[in-house]
């Protein structure tokens, strides 16, 4: 009897054990999947779930978001972090409306051409929304392939072209089966083959895992040094954005001065928000979220 392939083992496990997430429901649509993938970048599922539901309720289509302002996108993004994603997602919605009649395209090259859509997100939408055969490689997938196939305890901090090749070699030839396997690899890394406490005893590929066979231990520390938050420009930017999100009009400079006592750092953080297209000056003494109460700017190319 032929042994099941690596992809078959993981896909069978996934069909029985996958988390019940709303963007995985049948017929959910490419826009809903695109929004989820953007939100899930560097953000845990538990934080994304309420934000995704609120976002999809307000803007169920790209056209709905494109008709609204960047300021409202930033407000709805709330405290998910990395708020430039909100503006880029709105830019993406505008491009989908203008270039594709409001429908998220199914061609990989067209997805890659959308604002804010990179290698991972484009392949994820093509696979999960349209059932295509593409290697969808995030940190979890790289870790699974590195351990089970290469026998290494960790895949390193960044995705390389070789990671795409290694993952694609594991995918079944049939597109729908490949798309299922892509989702399964990701889920396995997220809940079983975790970075610090892998649950090898219940892993569907434990018997063929080269890292498990080698007897190596999981790395004791993180692959990348955790980013400090307290006292950083990121914290100051977040505090400034919080005031501007809650405001109903332009906020005087004096009000923003109360957010942080270090004048140099506060000014630097505010200038960064302006440069990133999140905040705009109103006259000489006030600021507001970009496009708040005025015409929305054109999306970035």
> Which of 15, 37, 168, 285 is the catalytic position?
37
As a whole number of angstroms, the distance between CA 70 and CA 238 comes to 17
CB-based contacts of 211, cutoff 8 Å, min separation 6: 146, 147, 148, 150, 151, 152, 153
Q: Do 100 and 292 touch, CB atoms closer than 8 A?
A: no
Q: Which two tokens stand for residue 75?
A: 């407000």
As a whole number of angstroms, the distance between CA 249 and CA 57 comes to 25
Q: Which of 39, 32, 44 is nearest to 84 (CA)?
A: 39
Q: Do 155 and 145 touch, CB atoms closer than 8 A?
A: yes
- What Cα–Cα distance (Å) separates residue 103 from each residue in 22, 39, 198? 20, 19, 40
φ/ψ bin of 104: left (φ > 0), alpha (ψ from -120 to 50), beta (otherwise): beta
What secondary structure letter does DSSP report for 174?
A: S
- What Cα–Cα distance (Å) separates residue 83 from each residue in 29, 67, 258? 24, 19, 22
Torsion angle, alpha carbons of 200, 206, 207, 209, to 10: -120
As a whole number of angstroms, the distance between CA 132 and CA 125 comes to 9
Residue 285 appears among annotated catalytic residues: no
Catalytic positions: 37
């Amino acid at each position: 009897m032929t042994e099941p392939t690596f992809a078959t083992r993981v896909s069978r496990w996934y069909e029985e054990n996958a988390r019940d997430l709303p963007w995985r429901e049948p017929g959910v649509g490419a826009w809903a999947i695109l929004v989820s993938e953007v939100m899930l970048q560097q953000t845990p599922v538990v934080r994304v779930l309420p934000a995704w539901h609120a976002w999809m309720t307000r803007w169920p289509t790209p056209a709905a978001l494109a008709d609204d302002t960047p300021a409202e996108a930033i407000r709805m993004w709330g405290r998910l972090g990395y708020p430039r994603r909100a503006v880029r997602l709105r830019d993406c919605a505008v491009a989908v409306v203008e270039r594709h009649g409001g429908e998220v395209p199914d061609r990989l090259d067209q997805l890659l051409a959308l604002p804010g859509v990179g290698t991972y997100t484009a392949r994820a939408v093509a696979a999960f929304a349209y059932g295509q055969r593409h290697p969808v490689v995030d940190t979890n997938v790289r870790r699974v392939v590195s351990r089970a196939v290469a026998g290494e305890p960790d895949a390193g901090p960044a995705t390389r072209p070789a990671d795409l090749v290694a993952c694609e070699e594991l995918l079944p030839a049939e597109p729908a089966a490949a798309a299922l396997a892509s989702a399964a690899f990701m889920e396995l890394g997220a809940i079983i083959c975790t970075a610090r406490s892998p649950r090898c005893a219940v892993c569907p590929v434990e018997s063929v895992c080269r890292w498990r066979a080698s007897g190596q231990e999981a790395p004791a520390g993180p692959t990348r040094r955790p980013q400090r938050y307290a006292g950083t420009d990121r914290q100051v930017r977040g505090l400034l954005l919080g005031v501007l999100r809650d405001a109903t009009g332009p906020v005087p400079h004096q009000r923003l001065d109360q957010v942080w006592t270090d004048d140099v750092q506060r000014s630097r953080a505010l200038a960064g928000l302006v440069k990133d297209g999140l905040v705009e000056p109103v006259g000489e003494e006030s600021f507001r979220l970009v496009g708040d109460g005025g015409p929305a700017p054109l999306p970035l190319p």
